Chain A
Amino acid sequence: KQEVTQIPAALSVPEGENLVLNCSFTDSAIYNLQWFRQDPGKGLTSLLLIQSSQREQTSGRLNASLDKSSGRSTLYIAASQPGDSATYLCAVEENTGFQKLVFGTGTRLLVSP
Chain B
Amino acid sequence: EAQVTQNPRYLITVTGKKLTVTCSQNMNHEYMSWYRQDPGLGLRQIYYSMNVEVTDKGDVPEGYKVSRKEKRNFPLILESPSPNQTSLYFCASGISPAGTKNIQYFGAGTRLSVL
Contact = CB atoms under 8 A, between A and B. Distances in A.
Chain A bound to chain B: yes
Interface of A: 4, 31-32, 34, 36, 41-46, 49, 51-53, 89, 91, 93, 95-101, 103-106
Q: How large is the interface on B (under 10, 10 to 19, 20 to 34, 35 or more residues)?
A: 20 to 34
Contacts, number: 76
Q: Which 10 A-B pairs have the closest CB atoms?
A: A43-B108, A44-B106, A51-B100, A103-B43, A103-B42, A105-B42, A99-B98, A43-B106, A31-B100, A43-B109
Interface of B: 4, 9, 31, 33, 35, 40-45, 48, 50, 56, 58-59, 90, 92, 94, 96-109
A51 B101 CA distance: 6
A104 B42 contact: yes
B100 A52 contact: yes
Nearest to B6: A43
B103 A46 contact: yes
Nearest to B109: A43
Contact of A99 (B40, B44, B102, B108): B102
Contacts of B107: 43
Contacts of B40: 105
